[in-house]
């Protein structure tokens, strides 16, 4: 695998991880009641239609990987369908670290 492709994949995963972390902190700071339980329930019993849509996007790539095709090409295709990370807004990033107003 070439370094540029590996770096793009790592960047994508890192950005999604950061976005997830920020959303969790926002829910904690906003004191949304029961959000962790709701998340656990949704993950345990996902919406069949949403799950089918996700599978329709990723299953063809999974099949290509299993067929032992050119891995770099498959990963390039993955990057095309993977969710784009949210664009970073400097002001939002700064404000995310400010204490919550009461």
Q: Is residue 70 part of a domain?
A: yes
Q: Is residue 63 part of a domain?
A: yes
Indicate whether this model's pTM tops 0.85: no
Provide the number of structural domains found in the chain. 1
Q: Is residue 78 part of a domain?
A: yes
Q: Is residue 65 part of a domain?
A: yes
Q: Is residue 48 part of a domain?
A: yes
- Please report, for residues 18, 28, 47, the alpha-carbon distance to residue 96 in angstroms, rounded to integers and kept in the order given: 12, 12, 30
Q: Is residue 102 part of a domain?
A: no
Q: Is residue 101 part of a domain?
A: no
Rg value, the chain, Cα:
18
Query: 23 near 96, Cβ under 8 Å?
Result: no
Domain range enclosing 80: 3-96
| Residue 70 pLDDT | 82
Q: Is residue 42 part of a domain?
A: yes
pLDDT tens digits for 28-65? 999 999 999 999 998 899 899 988 988 888 888 888 88
């Amino acid at each position: 695998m070439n370094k540029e492709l590996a770096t793009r994949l790592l960047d994508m995963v890192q950005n999604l991880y950061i976005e997830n972390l920020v959303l969790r902190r926002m829910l904690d700071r906003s004191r949304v009641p029961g959000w962790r339980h709701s998340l656990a329930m949704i993950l345990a019993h996902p919406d069949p239609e949403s799950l089918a849509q996700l599978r329709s996007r990723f299953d063809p790539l999974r099949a290509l990987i299993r067929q032992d095709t050119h891995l770099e090409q498959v990963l390039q295709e993955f990057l095309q369908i993977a969710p784009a990370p949210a664009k970073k807004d400097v002001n939002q990033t700064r404000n995310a670290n400010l204490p919550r107003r009461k």
